Amino acid sequence: MRGTLRPLSVAPMMARTDRHFRVFLRQLTRRTLLYTEMVTQHAVLHGDRDKILGFSPIEHPLALQLGGDDPALLAECARVAADWGYDEVNLNVGCPSERVQSGNFGACLMLEPDTVARAVEAMRAAVDLPITVKHRIGVDERDGYDDMLAFVDVVARAGADRFSVHARKAWLSGLSPKQNRTVPPLRYADVYRLKRERPDLPIEINGGITTLEATLEHLEHVDAVMIGRAAYDDPGLFGAADRLVFGDAAAPDVDAFTAVERLQPYVDAWVAGGGRLHQVTRHLMGLFAGLPGARRFRQVLSEQGARPTAGPEVLARALACVRRPG
């Protein structure tokens, strides 16, 4: 296996896990593995790379998630990822959106394990980075445990370095991507069984996990836990991750106030470099829910912070509206 097995990651999420949100998460946790949003093979090869692939050194360890189905193109993408300094390349075999299906990638590739295997093989041959796969427990009628096992076995033989399993099946038609994250039931037992029956394969579980306590329980059964929506809705939960999940006794817990304060120099530099404040602060809207002043915090950020000329001091002004507990 290539790479370090990390027990906790933040899931790739389109329009959410961009470089700014990742830098914010890094104020809370040094060790959790972070992912980019999904980037298609064509975007990596033909798009504006600074915009699509650029990141700050503090974001390591960082995985680039790719969407695609062409082994040669994906291998080229993996080379680009290595040149840019990413720590891992992950292939998306879990997204059921129609746009993604029309490109023949995402969850529909669960029906084509050989294609995925060839892609993994080609990427592994191209670079020394870990090549990992994020997938579902099943799609459509192919949703039995044995179907998933057959998929994993084929892809494991190609050398995949970790399987991140969203513990729900996806319906390729009839459900929106959002419904596909809530309607099919979670089947954690299938993922646990996969780890039991394939103990040598690094297995990460994903889906519906919202606390570090639940994370620790899952870690009794699998190697790693991936948290998606809860990381966005309640990023503060990662403030204790280095200590509780990674066992780093020296890591002090960080609260959301401290994380926002620590983010300020990044915000200053981003705005000074011509970036817009709102690109960063839009990710902070969910913070401090329930605390006195949280509404005012959101108001200041959305009214003053969204102006094209908003300066970085708006963030400090918004933070000053929230009363710290205790």
Ligand X SMILES: Cc1cc2nc3c(=O)[nH]c(=O)nc-3n(C[C@H](O)[C@H](O)[C@H](O)COP(=O)(O)O)c2cc1C
179 contacts 185 by C-beta, under 8 angstroms: no
Among 2, 30, 229, 317, binds ligand X (CB under 6 A): 229
d(CA 53, CA 91): 16
- Single out the residue of 208, 235, 239, 312 in contact with ligand X (rule: CB under 6 A): 208
State which residue, 34 or 301, has the beta carbon closest to ligand X. 34
Rounded to whole angstroms, the Cα distance separating 86 from 59 reads: 10
137 near 177, Cβ under 8 Å?
A: no
Helix, strand, coil share (%) of the chain residues, nearest 5: 45, 15, 40
Window 102-161: residues binding ligand X (CB under 6 A): 134
User: Measured at CB, which residue is nearest to ligand X?
Assistant: 228
Tell me how far apart the alpha carbons of residues 287 and 257 are, in angstroms, rounded to a whole number.
9
**Should residue 175 be labelled a site residue for ligand X when binding is judged by CB under 6 A?**
no
- Looking at beta carbons only, is 96 or 312 nearer to ligand X? 96
Contacting ligand X (CB under 6 A), which of 142, 181, 193, 276?
Answer: 181
List residues with catalytic annotation.
Answer: 95
**Minimum separation from the CB atom of position 58 to ligand X (A):** 22
Shortest reach from residue 283's CB to ligand X, in Å: 12
Identify which range of 149-157, 191-199, 225-233, 265-273 contacts ligand X by CB under 6 A. 225-233
Task: Calculate ∠ Cα 188-190-192, nearest 5°.
Answer: 70
Q: What's the rounded Cα separation, in Å, for the pair 326 and 314?
A: 25
Q: How far is the CB of 237 from ligand X (least distance, A)?
A: 12
Residues forming beta bridges with residue 170, ordered by sequence position? 139
Phi-psi region of 290 (alpha: psi -120 to 50; beta: other; left: phi over 0): left
Q: What is each CA distance from 177 to 89, 136, 174, in whole angstroms?
A: 23, 13, 10
Looking only at residues 8 through 47 of this chain, which bind ligand X when binding is defined by CB under 6 A?
11-14, 16, 37-38
Q: Helical H runs in the chain?
A: 19-26, 41-46, 49-53, 71-84, 98-102, 113-126, 145-157, 188-197, 212-218, 229-233, 241-244, 256-272, 277-281, 294-303, 313-319
> Do 168 and 134 contact (CB within 8 A), yes or no?
no
Using the contact rule CB under 6 A, the part of the chain among 46-54, 226-234, 296-304, 305-313 near ligand X is 226-234
Residues 231-270 that bind ligand X (CB under 6 A): none
Span of 6-14, 119-127, 237-245, 291-299 interacting with ligand X by CB under 6 A: 6-14
Question: For ligand X, which is the closer residue by CB, 208 or 312?
Answer: 208
- Contacting range for ligand X; rule: CB under 6 A; set: 41-49, 202-210, 214-222, 252-260: 202-210
Q: Which is nearer to ligand X, 198 or 229 (CB)?
A: 229
Give the shortest CB-72-to-ligand X separation in angstroms: 22
Considering only 109, 131, 209, 277, the residue that binds ligand X (CB under 6 A) is 209
* Nearest C-alpha neighbor of 1 from the set 116, 158, 222, 159: 159
Q: Is 282 a residue that touches ligand X (CB under 6 A)?
A: no
Out of 71, 130, 138, 228, point to the residue binding ligand X (CB under 6 A): 228
**For residues 61-90, which are near ligand X according to CB under 6 A?**
65
Q: What does the radius of gyration of the chain's CA atoms come to, in whole angstroms?
A: 20
Size of the site for ligand X (CB under 6 A): 22
Q: State the residues that interact with ligand X by CB under 6 A.
A: 11-14, 16, 37-38, 65, 92, 94-95, 134, 166, 181, 206-209, 227-230
